[in-house]
Amino acid sequence: MVIEKIKQTIERENLIENKDKILVALSGGPDSVCLLHALKKLETYYNIKIYAAHLNHKIRGIEAQKDALYAAKLCDELDVPFFVKAIDVPAYAKEKKMTLEEAARKLRYDMLFEVKNRIGAKKIAVAHNLDDQAETVIMRLIRGTGITGLKGMDYKRGDGVIRPLMDISKANIVSYCDENKLNPRIDYTNLETEYTRNKIRLKLLPFIEQEFSANIKDTISRMANILREDSDYLEAEAQRIFEEQVLENTNEIIKLDIEELKSTHSSLVKRLIRMAIKTLAGTLEGIDNVHIEDILALIKNSKNQLKLNLPKGLMIYKTTDGLIFTFEEISFENVNYNYILKPDGYIQIDEIGMRIESKIMSKERCIALPTGQYTKAFDYDKIKGDLIVRSRLDGDRMKPMGLGGTKKLKDIFIDLKIPREKRNSIAVLSDDKGILWLMGHKISEDYKIDENTKRVIRITCKTL
Amino acid sequence: MVIEKIKQTIERENLIENKDKILVALSGGPDSVCLLHALKKLETYYNIKIYAAHLNHKIRGIEAQKDALYAAKLCDELDVPFFVKAIDVPAYAKEKKMTLEEAARKLRYDMLFEVKNRIGAKKIAVAHNLDDQAETVIMRLIRGTGITGLKGMDYKRGDGVIRPLMDISKANIVSYCDENKLNPRIDYTNLETEYTRNKIRLKLLPFIEQEFSANIKDTISRMANILREDSDYLEAEAQRIFEEQVLENTNEIIKLDIEELKSTHSSLVKRLIRMAIKTLAGTLEGIDNVHIEDILALIKNSKNQLKLNLPKGLMIYKTTDGLIFTFEEISFENVNYNYILKPDGYIQIDEIGMRIESKIMSKERCIALPTGQYTKAFDYDKIKGDLIVRSRLDGDRMKPMGLGGTKKLKDIFIDLKIPREKRNSIAVLSDDKGILWLMGHKISEDYKIDENTKRVIRITCKTL
């Protein structure tokens, strides 16, 4: 019955192809022993070739040695080519500051892929079972997750790892070992078992089985399979759309089309964001749901030229045409803006993060107030038409105080050593006749307060 | 804080629009009392108008009477227009053979929609809270579900029902009632509370909170919200594709494009199948995952002209161009097939659900065996070329036993009163010279066993 069920899994999930070489990860515990024995039985049926590899992890020296001997003997009896490697995992863990569990896991997979490559195998079979799957799903559920977590472990990974036992319960595995007199080793170290997982196995699942549903593990595994199908579709769809909407994709920068993002369903947009980060940073570590929500809010924000800082130096920029993911600072070189500044009014320019206020007052009152780099006063009656706060334009000229003539804005920027990419973020205050103020830098002769001035407009700009 | 959180929910989920009339379902218990009080407080802020309605269900007569009085008094104090209706729910439940819970639920919603229509309200606000949501998700998880179950209750339903309290815990609701001295009624009947839900509330959730995560209810609610987004996208996408791929959509029949289905992701195909059934039958009751899997297998089957029977008389037909959902029998009028029948061999004709076997034997042995309507014997040495089992062709003729001449198959069908649409499902056995057997009906003179016969071919057809 175990063999029949494994065949069903293999065929439903397309785990095996004709002529596959399959390397079984053999610890010597009941799961991997059952896996090796069952796959070996199916060797002729599927026209495959079975190999086994064992890591002697040197945790509890004598027991680890016995595990390795058992594994060697079993492979000899089953006529399975056997690879073994001994590594001092406790020493490695100490050196690399990893937990024993992390170190053993890393070294075991390193060893498996090394052997896989050496023998030219297509697949590595690992022995996760139905109980492991149910525990994984519940653990993720308790910690908080979405469909990607709830779908559980995959039957087949992109790197060739397959899990043929994932529909078989632990109880059936133990019976299988008994029936076939395999005498597997007891896993003293139980390296895989985290604290929470252990509590789920020993307390929560038995509680649910007794109080609610004896089949809870099967129910969860079925749910995971249904969700995996939905998840696969969503990921494939997101991948297709990513390729459609990506405007730039280099080592330094990923730029997605902002207009397309706005008309894409948020279920997919979240996946596109994760894909962009994963592609750029190589990992999603440190990125939580709250960061994804922040980026969604950034996309929806009606303003452009916005920036968001994420963990590990990742920056997200929103420009007029794109959502940019990068680790490099970028300037909003081409920011353009043009606002009317009402007398006794204010405007907020999100593009450059400035707030500008104006106040009309008598000359007497004005003289009593201080001015400075970001506060200037002008003769209000010399102004023609609306006051405009805007970004520079090609050909802009002004008559800077004290120069006695006009000068191109471009030359003023050069004299001030302001780099090209920062020039648009310096606001220009103008009226119908010309420029009053290159804000923060130069004021014009033409609007200065003199003995005839009656009303004054006092203008202040502040960083938001 | 409760009010702030309700506002967040209302705004994030777009529950309320300017000028909405909102009818609150008021039982008198803490949840609905908190809901009414909070929404009333937000009446001016959102520019809405609040109403309340109460069903006196007459379960535990005195207590139900007190609930109704309390509700009336509260609405009077809050200056909320109040509607009340008294129905003998126990009597109704008995008459309609429903549980008290089902009957109360049905009558309460009937009453709410009646009042909603009368006052021209846009929304009905019901008081499900965060605890209810977590319980619902866990209950569905234990019973077995997919994303549609795990997304929990919706904040907003298509019919105008909204759930503004769904992010507020029961504990916060109780505190809110205390702080505002609302003295809600204790819900003695607790009509909503099923047995399993009660155990989840009283045993499972406290167990998880203590052993694993004090925030489990929030965690589950957040998960439900993430999944709802994915589910919404998948449903919308399936709806779009349904409209694209549906070839016929009447009261009697829904026909989907089979070739399109084959190239659509199974995650969506499952949704398309559910949509077709829901559209035709009005409900998905009685349809389990196993039925959906059967239909998926039908689609993948390389044969056409297949039929599947589902519960409640629903039938699924697979024809050359479509997948048909219907409650009416349909005939595969244009089924065409043509198979070689090997001597001592068999063929299975899925198109008409028949298996046909042939056996070569000596005349002596054959004579000792019985024949019948579906088992006939022919002189094997009179056969020229391959034996063919096929559907009728225009112009087919045969020489029926005893007639002494040839006759058109068409005329034989007319004599036998076989309707046109069933004629192709009657197989014809022929060789290079002509027709041996109109299977189940007539055999030919030309192949009969006589004194010169040496070898006999005995042919049997069986329904699959």
Has residue A56 got a pLDDT over 60? yes
A234 and B234 within 8 Å at the Cβ level: the answer is: yes
Mean pLDDT of A119-133: 96
A149 among annotated binding-site residues: no
**Predicted pLDDT of residue A419:** 73
Average pLDDT across chain B, whole number: 91
- Counting other chains too, the contacts that A427-430 makes at CB distance below 8 Å and 24 or more residues apart are A427/A337, A427/A349, A427/A352, A427/A354, A427/A356, A427/A389, A427/A390, A427/A391, A427/A461, A428/A389, A428/A390, A428/A391, A428/A392, A428/A393, A428/A396, A429/A341, A429/A387, A429/A388, A429/A389, A429/A459, A430/A387, A430/A388, A430/A390
Pair A223, B145: CB distance under 8 Å: yes
Chains A–B, number of C-beta pairs less than 8 Å apart: 103
Q: Please give the residue of chain A at the shortest CA–CA distance from B220.
A: A144
B266 known member of a binding site: no
| Contact residues, chain B to chain A, C-beta under 8 Å | 141-147, 150, 196, 199-200, 203-204, 207-208, 211-213, 216, 219-220, 222-223, 226-227, 229-230, 232-234, 236-237, 265-268, 270, 289
In this model, does residue A228 exceed pLDDT 60?
yes
Is pLDDT of B192 > 60? no
pLDDT digits (tens, 9 = 90+) for A242-279: 999 999 888 888 999 998 999 999 999 999 999 999 99
Min Cα separation B210/chain A (Å): 11
**B232 and A265: CB-CB below 8 Å?**
yes
Confidence check: pLDDT of B81 > 90: yes
In chain A, residues with a C-beta closer than 8 Å to the C-beta of B266 are: 229, 233
Chain B interface disruption, residue of A226, A227, A266, most B CBs within 10 A = A226
Q: Does the beta-carbon distance from A204 to B212 stay under 8 Å?
A: yes
Dihedral angle over CA of B424, B425, B427, B433, nearest 10: 0
Q: Is the confidence at residue A189, as pLDDT, over 60?
A: no
B27: annotated binding-site residue? yes
Q: How far is B395 from chain A (nearest CA, A)?
A: 47
The candidate with the shortest Cα–Cα distance to A42, out of A71, A20, A63, is: A20
User: Does the structure show a pLDDT above 70 at A44?
Assistant: yes
Query: Per residue in B239-295, pLDDT tens?
Result: 999 999 999 888 888 999 998 999 999 999 999 999 999 999 999 988 988 899 999
In this complex, the residue of B142, B227, B289 whose CB is nearest that of residue A147 is B227
Are B146 and A223 a contacting pair at CB < 8 A? yes
> CA-to-CA distance for B397 and B445, rounded, in angstroms?
13
Contact B142 A216 (CB under 8 A): yes
| Amino acid identity at B194 | E
Which CATH number is correct for A250-326, 3.90.1330.10, 3.30.465.60, 3.90.1150.10, 3.60.15.10?
3.30.465.60
- Higher-pLDDT residue of A17 and A404 is A17
Report the pLDDT averaged over residues A362-376. Answer: 89
Burial zone of B153 (CB within 10 Å; 0-12 exposed, 13-18 middle, 19+ buried): middle
Residue A402, pLDDT score:
87
Residue B30, annotated as binding a ligand:
yes
Q: Based on C-alpha coordinates, what's the Rg of chain B?
A: 34
Set of chain A residues whose Cβ sits within 8 Å of the Cβ of B232? 265, 267
Q: Could you tell me the pLDDT band of residue B193, with boundaries at 50, 70 and 90?
A: low
Buried b (16+ CB within 10 A) or exposed e, A9-47: bbeebebbeeebebbbbbbbbbbbbbbbbbbbebeeebe
User: Is the pLDDT reported for residue A192 higher than 60?
Assistant: no
CATH assignment, B2-227: 3.40.50.620
Is B345 annotated in a binding site? The answer is no
Residue A193 above 70 pLDDT?
Answer: no
Say what the pLDDT of residue B418 is: 83
Mean pLDDT, rounded, for B298-306: 82
User: Domain locations in chain A?
Assistant: 2-227, 250-326, 338-463
SS (H, E, C) chain B: CHHHHHHHHHHHCCCCCCCCEEEEECCCCHHHHHHHHHHHHCHHHHCCEEEEEEEECCCCHHHHHHHHHHHHHHHHHHCCCEEEEECCHHHHHHHHCCCHHHHHHHHHHHHHHHHHHHHCCCEEECCCCHHHHHHHHHHHHHHCCCHHHHCCCCCECCCCEECCCCCCCHHHHHHHHHHCCCCCCCCCCCCCCCHHHHHHHHHHHHHHHHHCCCCHHHHHHHHHHHHHHHHHHHHHHHHHHHHHHEEEECCCEEEEEHHHHHCCCHHHHHHHHHHHHHHHHCCCCCCCHHHHHHHHHHHHCCCCCEEEECHHHCEEEECCCEEEEECCCCCCCCCCCEEEECCCCEEEECCCCEEEEEEEEEHHHHHCCCCECCEEEEEHHHCCCCEEEECCCCCCEECECCCCCCEEHHHHHHHCCCCHHHHCCCCEEECCCCEEEECCCEEEHHHCCCCCCCEEEEEEEEEC
| B313 conformational bin, left if phi > 0, alpha if psi -120 to 50, beta if neither | left
Q: How far is A232 from chain B (nearest CA, A)?
A: 8
- Among B154, B174, B136, which Cα is nearest to B29's? B174
**Beta pairing, strands B123-125 & B161-162:** parallel
Q: What pLDDT is attached to residue A251?
A: 84
- pLDDT score, position B333: 60
For residue B147, the chain A residues in CB contact (below 8 A) are: 147, 226-227, 230
Instruction: Please tell me which of the candidates A146, A219, A232 has its beta carbon nearest to residue B144.
Output: A219
CB-closest option in B144, B223, B268 to A145: B223
Quick: pLDDT tens for B82-122: 999 999 989 999 999 988 888 989 999 999 999 999 999 99
pLDDT of residue B82: 97
Q: Count CB atoms within 10 A of the CB of residue B357.
A: 16
CA distance A397 to A336: 18
Q: What is the structure's pLDDT at B304?
A: 74
Cα A380 → chain centroid:
54
What's the mean per-residue pLDDT of chain A?
91
Which of A56-70, A381-395, B134-148 is the least confident region? A56-70
**How many C-alpha atoms does B124 have within 13 Å on its Cβ side?**
23
Query: Would you say B29 is a known binding-site residue?
Result: yes
Tens of pLDDT, residue by residue over A275-325, are 999 999 999 988 988 899 999 999 988 777 788 888 889 999 988 778 999
pLDDT at B346: 92
Contact B268 A233 (CB under 8 A): yes
B69 to chain A, closest Cα gap in Å: 39
Confidence of residue B190 (pLDDT cuts 50, 70, 90): low
The one-letter amino acid code at A428 reads: V
pLDDT in tens, B429-464: 999 999 999 999 999 999 999 999 999 999 999 887
Segment A390-449, tens digit of pLDDT:
999 989 999 999 888 999 999 999 999 887 767 888 999 999 999 999 999 999 999 999
Determine which of B12, B201, B212, B274 to mutate to test the interface with A (most A C-beta atoms within 10 Å).
B212
Closest Cα in chain A to B195: A212
What tokens appear for A426 in the block?
A: 């310096």
pLDDT tens per residue, range A60-111: 778 889 999 999 999 999 999 999 999 998 999 999 998 888 898 999 999 9
Residue with tokens 């450059």: A352
Amino acid A315: pLDDT: 92
- CA angle A395–A359–A433, rounded 5-degree value: 25
A116 vs A124: CA distance, rounded Å: 7
Q: In this predicted structure, what is the pLDDT of residue A72?
A: 96
